[in-house]
Amino acid sequence: MNIDISKFKRCKILVVGDLMIDEYLWGSVDRISPEAPVQIVSVEKEEYTLGGSGNVVNNLVALGAKVLAVGVIGTGREGKLLLEKFKKIGVDTRGIIQEQQRPTTRKTRIIAANQHVLRIDRETKKEISNRTFQAIAEFTEKVMPEVDIVLISDYGKGMVTKSMLPGLVALAKKHKKITIADPKGLDFKKYSGVSIITPNRKEAALALGVEVVNEASLYKAGAKILESVKIDKLLITCGKDGMVLFERNKKPYKISAVARQVYDVSGAGDTVLSVLGLAIASGLSFKEGIELANTAAGIVVGKIGTATVSKKEILDALKPAHDGVPGKYKLLTELEDLIHELKKKNKKIVLTNGCFDLLHAGHIMFFSASRQTGDVLIVALDDDDSVKRLKGEGRPVINAKERVRIISALDVVDYVVIFSTGQLDKLIEIIKPDILTKGTNYSSKEVYGRKLVEKFGGRVELIPVSENISSTSIINNIKKGSF
C-alpha cells in the first residue's frame, strides 16, 4: 500500500471520550506473603501514560496529527498530570472540563517478571454534569468547522452518554464530518447516526446476546448489527483473526491479521480508532484505512503497556525494505524507544560493534555465539569514514548501507545501527547493554567501553575467534592474487 505520511501532519482531529491515566508499577516477585497466599511485588519502577481516549490522542500526535481533546477530568493530582502530559505533546485542551467532585479515572497495572499480576481501577461511571454537558456542546459547535473528522472513544465512564451523542453526531453531519466510534456496553443503538463503529468480536457478541464462534456466526452477527443500528459501516476487530468490514448490500471485507508476537492487547482498540480516523482524514479510502489500522494494531500488541505506534514503524511494517534499508536497521534517534520496549520485556540485550567489512565465516560464528549470551543482539557498524580511519585507504570494501543489508539477513542478528568514531559512548549510554561482546583477540581490559558498560550493570564477554580468518587478510590475499 502506498501512503503519504506527510499528509498526516495536515490533519486536525477532534477526539471525544473518557480520559484516563494509566499507571504501571513494574517490579519483581521472589516470595509469597506470610499474611495470605499472594505474591509480594517489590516495586522497582513507576510509569504513567495516557489511557482511554487519551491513548487515542497520544497515537494521533505520534503520527503527526493536530488534536483537540474533549473530555472530563477531576481537579486532583491525576487530572493535573493528564493536562501536563497533553500540554507536553501539544494537544489543544480547551475542551477538557474539570469537575470538582469527580475523580480522574486511573487504572493501575502491577507487572512483575513480564507478567500482568493485578489491575486496580479508581473511577466513577456517573454521567457528566449538565454544566459540563453545556460547556462541551458549546466548544464542539465552535471547533467543528475546522476539524477533519470526529473520533468517539467510549469507555463507559460517563462522558459519552445517550443524551450527548445525538447532538454531537448531528453537529458533525451538519458540517459533513465523518464520525467513528469505538463502542462500549450492550446497547449499540446508542451510536445511531455514527458513520462507523469499531467493536471487537467479544463486544459485538455481547451486544447481540449471541455466541460468535466461527466466520459464519461472525458474518451473521455483523449483518444483524447493521440491520438494527443506524450506522453506515461496521468494523469488527478479531484479534489474531484480523478484521472484517461490513457495509450495507455488500459482501463482508475480511483482512487477515499481521502475524506478530503478542505481549499486551491493552490499547489495541485505541490504535485502530486513531489510525483508521487519521487515514480517512488524510484522504485514504475506508478499506485502505482499515488495512493501515490492522497493520498498526499488529505493531502495538507487540509492546507492553498502553503504547503508541510511530510513522516509521508503520512504514517498516508495510514495506520492510523501505528505501532499500531493512527493517532491522535503526537510527541512533530510534534506539531509546526500542530499548525502552525491550527492557519492559526483561530482554537481555547483547551489543557488539566493529567494521564487519567483507563478512566471512568467522563473523558468522562470532554473531551466533554473541546471540547465545542473551535475548537480543544489536550489531553496531562503524560508518565508512570510521572504517577508513581504522583500516586505511581502500576500506571499506563494502559501504555501510550494503553491510547493513548483509548483516540484517542473518537470523541471529536482531537490530543493526551505524555509528561514527566518538559515538560509541553515546551508543552504550542509550542501549545500556547487559553484555558487550568482543573477540578473544582482545583482552577484557583492552575493550573500549568496558568501564561504561560495567557502570550500567553490564559486563564484557570475550568470544573465541579464529586468528586465521580476518577481512584484512582476505582482502590482502585478493590484492596479491593468492586466492
The fold of the 5-319 domain, in CATH, is UDP-N-acetylmuramoyl-L-alanine:D-glutamate ligase (3.40.1190)
The CA distance from 339 to 293, in Å, is: 24
Write the pLDDT tens digit of every residue in 442-457. 776 778 888 999 998 9
The DSSP letter of residue 18 is: -
| Band of residue 302 on the pLDDT scale cut at 50, 70, 90 | low
The CA distance from 48 to 21, in Å, is: 7
Q: Looking at residues 276-297, what average pLDDT do you find?
A: 88
**Radius of gyration, CA atoms only, the chain:** 26
The kind and range of the H/E element at 17 are strand 12-17
pLDDT at 475: 60
Write the pLDDT tens digit of every residue in 29-67. 888 999 999 889 999 889 899 999 999 999 999 999 999
Q: Looking at residues 391-419, what average pLDDT do you find?
A: 87
Domain boundaries, the chain: 5-319, 332-480
For cell 585507504, the residue is 393
The fold of the 332-480 domain, in CATH, is Rossmann fold (3.40.50)
Residues identified as active-site: 270
Helix axes 201-208, 215-228, angle to 10 degrees: 60
Residue partners of 165: CB distance under 8 A and separation at least 6:
152, 190, 191, 193, 194
pLDDT at 322: 43
Write the pLDDT tens digit of every residue in 110-126. 988 777 889 999 999 99
Q: Which of 65-74, 84-93, 336-345, 417-426 has the lowest mean pLDDT?
A: 336-345
How far from 423 is each of 53, 114, 306, 451, CA to CA, in Å?
A: 39, 32, 32, 15
Q: Looking at residues 19-38, what average pLDDT do you find?
A: 91
The CA distance from 101 to 231, in Å, is: 35
pLDDT at 135: 95
Q: Looking at residues 408-431, what average pLDDT do you find?
A: 90
For residue 194, pLDDT over 50 is answered with yes
Q: Looking at residues 79-108, what average pLDDT do you find?
A: 95
pLDDT at 292: 86
Q: Looking at residues 158-180, what average pLDDT do you find?
A: 95
| Three-state secondary structure call for residue 269 | helix
pLDDT at 303: 63
pTM of the model: 0.72
The CA distance from 414 to 402, in Å, is: 17
Read out DSSP for 41-94?
EEEEEEEEEEEEHHHHHHHHHHTT-EEEEEEEE-SSHHHHHHHHHHHHTT-EEE
The pair phi, psi for residue 221, each rounded to 5°, is -65, -45
The pair phi, psi for residue 141, each rounded to 5°, is -65, -35
The pair phi, psi for residue 178, each rounded to 5°, is -75, 140
pLDDT at 280: 94
The CA distance from 424 to 422, in Å, is: 6
Query: Are the beta carbons of 320 and 326 closer than 8 angstroms?
Result: yes
pLDDT at 264: 44
- Report percent pLDDT > 90 for the chain: 50
C-alpha dihedral sign at 426, 429, 430, 434:
positive
Write the pLDDT tens digit of every residue in 224-269. 999 899 999 999 988 777 889 999 888 999 888 664 554 445 557 8
Q: Looking at residues 268-272, what average pLDDT do you find?
A: 84
Write the pLDDT tens digit of every residue in 350-386. 999 988 887 888 888 899 999 999 999 999 999 988 8
For cell 516509521, the residue is 312
The CA distance from 157 to 274, in Å, is: 19
The CA distance from 9 to 130, in Å, is: 35
